[in-house]
């Protein structure tokens, strides 16, 4: 049976077959170069040969670039057009260097069958600009991302079109705009007229706002007699006068359909124009001054193993507790008393049959906890259920290994009665845990052709983070979409920008009435960037004999904020991207994003009000803390895994140094 191992940069699987005792000296791939169409899959065979040239059996590790190809069960599936490499290596048990092989992969797109040209429904007239978009459909019905379009106007004296589909009316007359993708054409006809617009009125906006505050303007085009012209195309732009020219960046603001946000202080002018008419609104932007002081409250040091996720809960005895897992820690999980955050101490440890206990959860009522297992000796990973009747010293109540969870459990979500268990990164299984000694299978959900990493349940809807698929939403008891806990029913899915969708947190924002999804990437690599890092071999304790290890990881990626108020029409509002680092797990409470940002530490971000652009460049960061511990597993290498606010303190797990607690002080000045 193939075991799926999900790493940060690759999909990998091990083929556990009998070892003959011979040493592998050469690997051969058939075919030598893989050619596949996006969405299709082809077989790939890897053969191992010994020194005598005979075919032998040996365990192999095979990995393909995430987002480009998927390698699974001896087949290669193309995900996005491009040229990639599949990396193959042996798995020596004696510590020797592995034999490696690189297999080139060429992924092509399916053929284009039709092209549709769309606009926002605006009318074309002299001097007006109407953006056009070409949607290219493949023969299988999927759409081509970012197609290369050739635009042509049938009569440039009537209307011109640039390389990006922007059409500008020149005079009255009829014109046909054509967009071609790989020889397949789509057309749209227009009747251009003289401009009916006499003036534009702008409403909305304030005279002074802070960086990061979104201004919302409305532009109304009017003709003779103040007649409103609803279908006039409005173009938005802005002007900028910096307060300090030394500080002025190249792109200090964004404006989109009347919504505008500024990143730096200065005087800005929003401009609406169409057909020769123009209106302006000027306003001042001042510094947000959001930064707050942060105090280190306490630490529960763990430097013997890598610490993974954490969960905090109030025990049935009224005290507060935390549980942390470990990576490559021989199945160890730690129980902490965190009642006094200045004195975090271990009360117990639990060892289960696993290589890694990646995820830990406790139920909202504090009745039970769960530990995920990966790398069990019997290859039946599953989950361990803990009875928290004595929260300082939990008792193993049961282990669930059936119904598809044998291939490794990487993540979970706990409710009082049910536990959602991610099975082999392929699906999630729902267990009834009302009887802790006898957890039972209820149902499962497996999204087609998708890998899942995280799931969070809110109001009967399960929101899962599924890498290049993006976000998948399933009714598991809400009922509005016909689903129940026994019959999970698909609601909707949508992709996100990076194709590295890793973690998700649903959040109702009271200040705006919006329901938001906070979605985080995970990319434990920096391929293509100037600083690519030291590589995974160095993310171990320093070995003086070999000189290897002792360096922190290098990551990239960011947090995306999606307006999910209308599940069928999600809108990507904003992002939080701190350069040089990559995101991991997060929490949101009272309009504050608590983000574990790997080597970027934990970062607290103001997400109040309307959101747009990159919150990092707008000065919305409230506080940052990096856990530098000279006695850590890798000394002084901050690596925040997970974070959870609890009773006024902020608890987080650092990979190299264990459990920490910090606290943000109140704002030193009133915020308008």
SS3 state of residue 536? helix
- At 429 the pLDDT is 97
- pLDDT surpassing 90 at residue 196: yes
- In whole angstroms, give the CA distance from residue 98 to residue 107: 28
Is residue 404 predicted with pLDDT exceeding 90?
no
In this structure, whether the domain defined by 3-108 belongs to CATH 2.60.40.1080 is answered with yes
* DSSP structure class, residue 234: P
Residue 452 has pLDDT above 90, yes or no: yes
Peptide bond into 104 cis (omega under 30): no
- pTM for the full predicted model: 0.87
Averaged pLDDT for residues 516-538 = 83
Dihedral of CA 139/144/150/153: which sign?
positive
Rounded to whole angstroms, the Cα distance separating 302 from 542 reads 17
3-class DSSP state of 537: helix
Q: How far apart are the C-alpha atoms of 652 and 311, rounded to whole Å? A: 9
pLDDT, residue 93, reads 66
Distance CA 191, CA 204 (A): 33
With a cut of 50, say whether residue 329 has pLDDT above it.
yes
Question: pLDDT, tens digit, for every residue of 45-79?
Answer: 999 999 888 898 888 888 777 778 888 888 999 98
The yes-or-no verdict on residue 9 having pLDDT over 50 is no
10 token code pair? 């690759």
| Poorest-pLDDT segment among 83-92, 157-166, 290-299, 410-419 | 83-92
Give DSSP secondary structure letters for 317-382. TS-EEEEEEEESSTTEEEEEE-SSTTS-EEEEEEE-S-SBB--EEE-TTSSEEEEE-BS-TTS---
Give the domain ranges of the chain.
Answer: 3-108, 112-192, 199-286
pLDDT of 13 reads: 38
Predicted local confidence at residue 14, as pLDDT: 39
User: What does the block give as tokens for 284?
Assistant: 């001042």
Model pLDDT for residues 350-376, shown as the tens digit of each residue: 999 999 999 999 999 999 999 999 999
pLDDT digits (tens, 9 = 90+) for 120-136: 999 999 999 999 999 99
pLDDT band at 95 (very low <50, low <70, confident <90, very high): low
Q: Could you give the count of Cα atoms lying within 13 Å of 27 in the half-sphere of its Cβ?
A: 21
Question: So what's the architecture of 112-192 in CATH?
Answer: Sandwich (2.60)
Kindly state the percentage of the chain with pLDDT values over 90: 76
- For the chain, what is the largest distance between any 2 Cα atoms, rounded to a whole number of angstroms? 94
Fold identical between 112-192 and 199-286? yes
> Positive or negative, the Cα torsion across 224, 228, 234, 240?
positive
**Cα separations (Å) of 654 from 25, 263, 309, 340, 348?**
40, 31, 9, 19, 19
The CATH number fitting domain 199-286, selected from 2.60.40.3880, 2.60.40.10, 3.40.50.1220, 3.40.50.300:
2.60.40.10
Higher pLDDT, 582 or 96: 582
Which pLDDT does position 523 carry in this prediction? 85
Identify the CA nearest to 327 among candidates 361, 394, 373: 373
Determine the Cα–Cα distance for residues 100 and 92; give it in Å rounded to an integer: 11
Question: Which pLDDT score, from 0 to 100, does residue 61 have?
Answer: 81
Least confident of 75-84, 239-248, 415-424, 499-508: 239-248
Whole-number Å distance between alpha carbons of 334 and 346: 7
Dist CA 436 CA 369 (whole Å) = 10
Residue 480 has pLDDT above 90, yes or no: yes
Rounded to an integer, the average pLDDT of 184-194 is 96
Task: Report the percent of the chain where pLDDT is more than 70.
Answer: 94
Q: What is the DSSP string of 54-122?
A: -EE---EEEEEETTTEEEETTEEEE-SSEEEEEEEEE--SSSPPPPEEEEEEEEEPPPEEEEEEE--SP
Q: Report pLDDT for 4.
A: 29
The whole-number pLDDT of residue 403 equals 85
Confidence class for position 6, pLDDT limits 50, 70, 90: very low
């Amino acid at each position: 049976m193939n075991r799926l191992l999900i790493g940060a940069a690759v999909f990998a699987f091990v083929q556990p077959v009998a070892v003959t005792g011979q040493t592998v000296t050469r690997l051969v791939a058939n075919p030598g170069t893989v050619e596949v169409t996006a969405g299709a899959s082809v077989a790939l065979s890897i053969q191992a040969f010994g020194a005598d040239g005979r075919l032998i059996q040996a365990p192999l590790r095979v990995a393909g670039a995430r987002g480009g190809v998927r390698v699974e069960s001896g087949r290669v599936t193309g995900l996005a057009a491009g040229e990639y490499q599949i990396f193959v290596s042996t798995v020596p048990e004696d510590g020797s260097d592995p034999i490696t092989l690189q297999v080139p992969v060429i992924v092509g797109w399916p053929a284009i069958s039709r092209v549709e040209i769309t606009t926002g429904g605006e009318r074309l007239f002299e001097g007006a600009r109407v953006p056009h978009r070409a949607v290219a459909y493949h023969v299988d019905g999927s759409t081509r991302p970012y197609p290369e379009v050739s635009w042509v106007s049938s009569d440039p004296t009537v209307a011109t079109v640039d390389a990006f589909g922007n059409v500008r009316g020149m005079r009255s007359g009829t014109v046909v705009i054509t967009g071609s993708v790989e020889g397949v054409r789509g057309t749209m006809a227009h009747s251009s007229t003289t401009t009916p617009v006499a003036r534009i009125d702008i409403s909305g906006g304030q005279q002074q706002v802070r960086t990061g505050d979104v201004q919302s303007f409305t532009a109304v085009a009017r003709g003779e007699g103040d007649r409103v012209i609803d279908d006039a195309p409005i173009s938005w732009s802005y002007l900028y006068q910096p307060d300090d020219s030394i500080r002025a960046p190249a792109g200090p603001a964004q404006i989109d359909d009347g919504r505008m946000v500024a990143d730096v202080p200065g005087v800005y002018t929003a401009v609406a124009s169409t057909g020769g008419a123009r209106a302006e609104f000027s306003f001042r932007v001042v510094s947000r001054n959001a930064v707050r002081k942060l105090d280190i409250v306490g630490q529960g040091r763990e430097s013997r193993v890598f610490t993974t996720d954490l969960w905090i809960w109030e025990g049935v005895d009224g005290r507060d507790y935390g549980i942390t897992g470990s990576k490559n820690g021989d199945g160890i999980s730690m129980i902490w008393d965190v009642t006094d955050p200045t004195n975090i101490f271990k009360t117990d440890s639990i060892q289960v049959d696993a290589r890694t206990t990646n995820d830990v959860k406790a139920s909202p009522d504090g009745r039970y906890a769960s530990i995920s297992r990966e790398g069990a000796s019997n290859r039946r990973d599953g989950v361990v259920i803990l009875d928290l009747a004595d929260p300082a010293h939990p008792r193993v109540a049961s282990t669930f290994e059936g119904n598809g969870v044998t291939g490794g459990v990487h993540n979970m979500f706990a409710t009082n009665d049910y536990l959602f268990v991610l099975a082999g990164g392929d699906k999630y299984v729902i267990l009834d845990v009302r009887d802790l000694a006898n957890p039972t299978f209820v149902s499962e959900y497996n999204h087609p052709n998708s890998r899942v990493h995280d799931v969070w349940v809110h109001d009967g809807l399960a929101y899962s983070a599924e890498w290049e698929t993006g976000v998948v939403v399933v009714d598991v008891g809400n009922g509005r979409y016909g689903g129940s806990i026994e019959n999970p029913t698909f609601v909707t899915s949508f992709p996100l920008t990076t194709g590295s969708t890793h973690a998700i947190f649903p959040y109702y924002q009271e200040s705006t009435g919006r329901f938001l999804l906070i979605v985080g990437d995970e990319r434990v690599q920096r391929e293509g960037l100037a600083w690519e890092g030291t590589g995974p071999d160095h993310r171990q304790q320093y070995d003086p004999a070999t000189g290897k290890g002792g360096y922190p990881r290098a990551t990239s990626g960011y947090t995306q904020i999606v307006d999910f108020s209308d599940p069928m029409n999600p809108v990507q509002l904003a992002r939080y991207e701190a350069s040089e680092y990559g995101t991991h797990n997060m929490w949101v409470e009272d309009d504050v994003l608590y983000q574990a940002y790997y080597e970027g530490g934990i970062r607290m971000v103001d997400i109040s009000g309307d959101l747009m652009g990159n919150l990092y460049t707008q000065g919305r960061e409230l506080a940052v803390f990096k856990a530098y511990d000279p006695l850590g597993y890798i000394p002084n290498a901050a690596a925040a895994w997970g974070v959870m606010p609890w009773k006024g303190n902020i608890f987080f797990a650092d990979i190299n140094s264990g459990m920490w607690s910090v606290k943000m002080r109140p704002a030193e000045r009133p915020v308008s």
